[in-house]
Amino acid sequence: MTDQRSGAGEGRTEASENVGSTVPTHSDMGLNLVTRGHVSELKSGRRYDDRVTGHGPSTAGAHGPSRVLLAAPRGYCAGVERAVEAVERALEGHGKPVYVRKQIVHNAHVVRDLEGKGAIFVEDEREVPAGEVVVLSAHGVAPEVYEQSRARGLTVLDATCPLVTKVHLEARRFAGDARTIVLIGHAGHEEVVGTMGQARDRTILVQDVAEARTVELPAGPLSYLTQTTLSVDETNEIVRVLRERFPHLEGPPREDICYATQNRQDAVKELARRSDVVLVIGSRNSSNSKRLAEVAIEQGTPAHLVDDETEVDPSWVAGADVVGVTSGASAPEWLVERMLAWLASLGAAEVEEVRVTEEHLRFSDVRV
Ligand code: SF4
């Protein structure tokens, strides 16, 4: 938290995208990328009502996709960019091997790539040989992880996203004020484990609307916090249900769902409204990527979460005229480029970017 150039409260529209410099560009691949400044300037190819009722545009069907809509913002957020760079810089600065506790970010390609460069991924800091270097993942950890790392004499490079650290600090402050914390999030997700660890005795997890309807909470002051990568709409509904039952429930000073989650969900909503099918590039253990597929489906558009183009069943796009493509906050841009090249090979060489906002935020480097 201390080393970010822009504060945790930075507007949701502010973050950087990391577009790999070594991957081919759209023009290198012969793709025709049409970029517009704002979504309101884009011509809608079809009406939302048509799509949900199953009446596709007249061009859809027989000959496969002709056009790709590409969501923006998409892909790497500022926290992921910083965490991946931390491992790369640690390898440069300390030499091989560098240990990484848990997946640095939830993306299979990123993990494999870093393994190839000399990173060793472990599930627990107690697996790291004494005295070695360990990088903590972007999802954050409970305090005992720092204690156990210290006890082993490890050099800790903490790549916890500053926006997760913000939630940790809120949890500790609420607990210090003797408040009960309702944490909205998914059991077992590393971020939730780390946040619950900040105030274990005072935190009660609520995972969905059904649990919000039935959860029993103690008398006394109540505050809620959320995982940073949830569905914005579902979280609003959970909070609404909780507030109906517990009107004195207070929220954090600023929402915990981060700018990157919000922006990518806004973009995929717009994308889904104008596409016949949406392909979300991301790993299945990536919370924000899964939410993107769900948000698209909620718009009435079929959506599929895939690690890369090799996982796309051609039948998913065979009857589609317009294919929407986006990527989760932990998916590198070169996977998007690969997906676009594959779609171009099917005839969908025209790519139009659907941008809902700009992002410029970048966090300061992890000190290695
Ligand atoms: Fe940080 Fe949000 Fe990215 Fe998670 S998704 S690493 S909270 S910026």
- Name the residue of 139, 164, 231 whose CB sits within 8 Å of the most ligand 1 atoms, as the mutation to test its pocket: 164
Task: Kindly state the helix (H) or strand (E) to which residue 352 belongs, with its residue range.
Answer: strand 350-355
* Residue 311 confidence (pLDDT): 98
Q: Which atom of ligand 1 is nearest to the CA of 164?
A: 7
Tokens representing 362? 């970048």
| CA separation for the pair 353, 169 (Å, rounded) | 37
Beta bridge partners of 133: 155
Token pair for 65: 């996709």
d(CA 289, CA 278): 12
CB 366 within 8 A of CB 82: yes
**Could you give the C-alpha distances from 283 to 109, 193, 327, in angstroms and in order?**
9, 20, 10
Per-residue confidence (pLDDT) for residue 18, from 0 to 100: 30
- Give me the helices (H) in the chain, please: 48-52, 78-94, 108-117, 143-151, 162-176, 190-196, 209-214, 232-245, 259-274, 287-298, 314-318, 333-345
Tokens of 226: 């959320």
Ligand 1, atom 8, residue with closest C-alpha = 79
Q: What pLDDT score was predicted for residue 43?
A: 27
Give the residue ranges of DSSP H helices in 63-219. 78-94, 108-117, 143-151, 162-176, 190-196, 209-214
Q: How far is CA 316 from CA 56, 166, 336, 343, in A?
A: 15, 40, 17, 12
pLDDT value of residue 32: 42
Q: Is 153 exposed, middle or buried (0-12, 13-18, 19+ CB in 10 A)?
A: exposed
Tell me how far the alpha carbon of residue 224 lies from the centroid of ligand 1, in angstroms.
19
**Whose CA is closest to atom 1 on ligand 1?**
79
What is residue 101's three-state secondary structure?
A: strand
Ligand 1 pocket test: pick from 3, 17, 77 the residue with the most ligand atoms within 8 Å of its Cβ: 77
CA distances from 303 to 140, 219, 295, 320 (A): 29, 43, 9, 12
Query: Of 343, 283, 291, 288, which Cα lies nearest the Cα of 314?
Result: 343
Domains of the chain (ranges plus CATH)? 14-77+259-355 (3.40.1010.20), 78-161 (3.40.50.11270), 175-245 (3.40.1010.20)
Instruction: Tell me the CA–centroid distance for residue 78 and ligand 1, in Å.
Output: 7
Residue among 228, 254, 363, 366 to mutate when testing ligand 1 (max atoms within 8 A of CB): 228
CA of 258 to the centre of ligand 1 (A): 6
- Out of 10, 17, 191, 255, which one is annotated catalytic? 191
* Closest-CA residue to 258 (of 229, 220, 295, 222): 229
Q: What is the pLDDT along the chain (368 residues), one digit of tens a residue?
A: 333 333 333 334 333 333 222 333 344 333 444 433 232 222 232 222 222 222 233 334 456 899 999 999 999 999 999 999 999 999 999 999 999 999 999 999 999 999 999 999 999 999 999 999 999 999 999 999 999 999 999 999 999 999 999 999 999 999 999 999 999 999 999 999 999 999 999 999 999 999 999 999 999 999 999 999 999 999 999 999 999 999 999 999 899 999 999 999 999 999 999 999 999 999 999 999 999 999 999 999 999 999 999 999 999 999 899 999 999 999 999 999 999 999 999 999 899 999 999 999 999 999 99
- Compute the distance between CA of residue 351 and CA of residue 333 in angstroms, rounded to an integer: 15
Instruction: For the chain, give percent helix, strand, coil, nearest 5.
Output: 40, 15, 45
For residue 227, the CA-to-ligand 1 centroid distance in Å is 10
Distance 225 CA to ligand 1 centre (A): 15
Q: Tell me, yes or no, if 244 is annotated catalytic.
A: no
Q: What does residue 299 show for φ and ψ, rounded to 5 degrees?
A: -80, 0
| CA gap 259, 328 in Å, rounded | 13
Contact 209, 241 (CB under 8 A): yes
Q: Residue 321 in contact with residue 66, Cβ under 8 Å?
A: yes
Label residue 29 exposed, middle or buried (CB < 10 Å: 0-12, 13-18, 19+): middle
CA gap 283, 76 in Å, rounded: 13
Q: 245: CA distance to ligand 1 center in Å?
A: 30
Q: Which atom of ligand 1 is nearest to the CA of 105?
A: 6
Task: Please state whether the peptide bond connecting residue 73 to the residue before it is cis, i.e. omega within 30 degrees of 0.
Answer: yes
CA distances from 116 to 21, 155, 179, 204 (A): 19, 22, 46, 40
State the pairing for strand pair 32-35/67-72.
unpaired
Secondary structure letter of residue 24 according to DSSP: P
Q: Ligand 1 — pocket residues by CB below 6 A?
A: 77-80, 138, 161, 163-164, 228-229, 258, 260-261, 288, 329
